[in-house]
Amino acid sequence: MRKPNDLNYLLFIFPALLYVGYFSFYPAARAVYLSFQTPHSHFVLVNYKSLLYYGLSSAVLNTVALTVGALLIQLAIGLGAASILLREFRGKRVFSALVIIPMGVATVVAAVTFSFIFPPPPGGYANALLELLHLPQFNWYANTLASLFTVMVADSWKNTPIVTLILLAGMSGVSPDLYRAAEIDGAGALRRFIHITLPNIRGSIAVALIIRGVSEFNIFALPLVLVGYRIPLLTTLTYEFYSSASIGDYYYSLASATILLAFVAAFILVVLKLGGGRR
């Protein structure tokens, strides 16, 4: 039963909900609706069929590969950084401030910077480092996989801090007694990590994966600057159609946006399922 009190307080939330309804849910629904139209006809799949011809499947494949790879990198570094932040050591305050700095750096700035570090061959700052160490040079864009990896590294630089903070929140919640008990039982640091830390922060890992996963699907500025339209992703493909002057392309962009939305929606459903279980 809802108390009448709730209704009064709902009035305070209402403007925000109205706002997101009008500017988020309504346009999203419109995008889906319009994607099944052309300037001349209604409820047709022609936009989607044309997309297939224009490389939709490789865009989907690339997007999924990029998402998985970037998540793995961010999780690995995030776990390491969070484990470090959990301990007391000299310089911890400085370190914890450093760790969040990339969060404040605009994506497009990260893109500029990494275009200096990983420019198309020859040279660049990364290759200059390799040369200093007398290691072989590397073409960061030799093939699709290499290009995607370059984007992943740049993206992880910007986004590992969020993952770190979420994992740190989870790790701080694990009782130190558990570690002490395990230590007394003779478990080494690695074993403690595998048998105590990981199972206890499962929830936080899931949250980090979900939040970052959705954002990875939406990754846009970085690939746009680093690889342009050469390696299509769902976002850059959509944008390519959108920024072309043709009205037919506008409808293609809606169809491709709808597919992106479908992926994100699937992800969100997983979130709500998981979230619902925990509440």
Partner 1 sequence: MTYKLELTKVSKSYGDKKVIDDLSLGIEPGEFFVVLGPSGEGKSTLLKLIAGIEQPDSGRILVNGVDVTSQPPNKRNIAMVFQSYALYPNMTVRGNISFPLRMHGASKDTIRGKVESVSKLLKIDSVLESPVSKISGGQQQRVALARALVRDPSVFLLDEPLSNLDARVRLSARAELKRIQRELNQTFVYVTHDQKEAASLADRVGVLHGGKFECVSRYQDMYEAPLTKWLGDFLGDFPMNFIPINSGSGDGAVEAGFRPEWVKVGSEGFHAEVEAIESSGGLYYLFCVTHEGPRVVIRDSVRREVGEEIRFKPVKQLTFRNGMLVQTPGEKLSEPSSRA
Partner 2 sequence: MTTIQRVLVYAGAAVVTAYFLYPLYVLLLVGFAPVQYTLDKIYPAQFTMHYTLANLVTALTSYGFIDPLVKSLKTAFLVGGLSVALGFPAGYGLSRVSKKVSSAASTTLFVVNMMPAIVIAIPISTQFVRLGLYGSFVGVGLAQELVALPLATFIIYGTFQAIPRELEYQARIDGAGVGRTMLGVLAPLAKPGIAAAFLLSWMLSWDEFTFAILLSPVHPTIPILIYHNIQRGNLLASTAFALFLTLPVVAITIMLQKYLKGEYLSGGVKG
Asked if 56 touches partner 2 (CB under 8 A), the answer is no
Q: Given the structure tokens 């903070």, which residue do they identify? A: 165
Distance (Å, rounded) from C-alpha 235 to C-alpha 229? Answer: 10
* Minimum CB–partner distance for residue 10 and partner 1 (Å): 16
Nearer to partner 1, 4 or 176 (CB): 4
Q: Which of residues 146-165 bind partner 2 (CB under 8 A)?
A: 157, 160-162, 165
Is 6 a binder of partner 1 (CB under 8 A)? no
Task: Identify what 181 binds: partner 2, partner 1, none; CB under 5 to 8 Å per kind.
Answer: none
- State which residue, 40 or 90, has the beta carbon closest to partner 2: 90
Q: How far is CA 216 from CA 21, 30, 129, 156, 263, in A?
A: 24, 23, 29, 10, 11
Determine, following the binding rule CB under 8 A, whether residue 11 of this chain makes contact with partner 1: no
Which structure tokens are listed for 108? 């497009």
Angle of CA points 3, 5, 10, to nearest 5°: 105
238 binds, among partner 2, partner 1, none (CB under 5 to 8 A by kind): partner 2
R_g over Cα of the chain: 23
**Binders of partner 2 among 172-201, rule CB under 8 A?**
189
- Residues listed for the chain: 279
Helix axes 56-86 and 144-172, enclosed angle (nearest 10): 40
Taking CB under 8 A as the rule, which mask of x and - marks residues 89-118 in contact with partner 2? x-x---xxxxxxxxxxxxxxxxxxxxxxx-
Contact stretch for partner 1 (CB under 8 A) within 2-10, 173-181, 207-215, 243-251: 2-10
